[in-house]
C-alpha cells in the first residue's frame, strides 16, 4: 500500500507509473502476475513501471474480474467522482486489493481510523467502460465470467461470425 502525507493531491496529479515506481521491481511484477498479465522482467525499474502501468491500463477486464463487490463499489465511487474525489473507508486489518496492488494511493487518518483513497485519473477512465457489467453481476450475486472466459467468448463470437 502506498501512503500519501495529506489529501491535497488530485487524481490528475498522480500517474499509475509513478505509484508503481515507488515500489520495487519485484512488487511491480507481482501486480502483473496477480492480474494474469505480462511485461518483460529484463527492463530497468523506470521502464518496468511504465510498461506495467500501460499493461494494466490496457486490460481493465483483468482488473475488474478479480475485484469483489465491495471493491467494485469503491471503483464505482471513483468513476462517478471528479479528479479530487477521495473514497473514504474505515481502516481494516488487511488492505483492499486496490491498495495491495498499487491501484490507489492512501492517506491514513489515524485519529478517525479511516483510509482516504485516491485513484489516478487514467486508471479511473480505463476501468469506467467495463465497470457496469462487473458491478451489476456483483450486485445481483451472480459470479461474473473471468477475463479468460470473456476472451474465449469473444474469440468464439468472432470465429462463428455471429
| CA–centroid distance for 80 within its chain | 15
**Angle at 81 (CA atoms; ends 151, 146), nearest 5 degrees:** 15
Tens digits of residue pLDDT in 135-161? 999 999 888 878 788 778 778 877 776
Q: Which residues contact 149 (CB under 8 A, 6 or more apart)?
A: none
- The boundaries of the domain holding residue 128 are 2-160
| CA–centroid distance for 162 within its chain | 32
Tens digits of residue pLDDT in 36-63? 888 889 999 999 999 999 999 999 999 9
* Local structure of residue 85 (DSSP, 8 states): -
Closest to 135 in 3D by CA, of 60, 84, 85:
60
How many domains is the chain built from? Answer: 1
User: Taking residues 59-68, what's their average pLDDT?
Assistant: 92
- pLDDT for the residue numbered 162: 60
Amino acid at each position: 500500500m502506498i501512503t500519501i502525507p495529506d489529501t491535497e493531491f488530485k487524481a490528475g496529479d498522480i500517474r499509475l507509473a509513478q505509484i508503481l515506481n515507488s515500489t520495487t521491481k519485484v512488487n511491480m511484477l507481482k501486480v502483473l502476475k496477480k492480474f494474469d498479465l505480462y511485461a518483460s522482467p529484463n527492463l530497468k525499474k523506470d521502464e518496468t513501471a511504465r510498461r506495467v502501468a500501460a499493461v494494466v491500463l490496457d486490460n481493465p477486464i483483468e482488473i475488474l474480474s478479480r475485484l469483489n463487490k465491495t471493491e467494485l463499489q469503491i471503483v464505482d465511487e471513483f468513476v462517478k467522482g471528479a479528479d479530487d474525489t477521495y473514497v473514504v473507508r474505515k481502516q481494516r486489518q488487511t488492505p483492499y486489493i486496490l491498495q495491495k496492488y498499487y491501484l490507489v494511493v492512501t492517506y491514513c487518518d489515524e485519529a478517525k481510523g479511516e483510509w482516504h483513497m485516491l485513484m489516478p485519473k487514467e486508471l479511473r477512465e480505463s476501468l469506467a467502460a467495463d465497470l457496469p457489467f462487473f458491478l451489476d453481476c456483483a450486485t445481483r450475486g451472480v459470479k461474473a465470467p473471468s477475463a479468460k472466459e470473456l476472451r474465449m467468448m469473444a474469440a468464439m463470437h468472432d470465429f462463428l461470425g455471429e
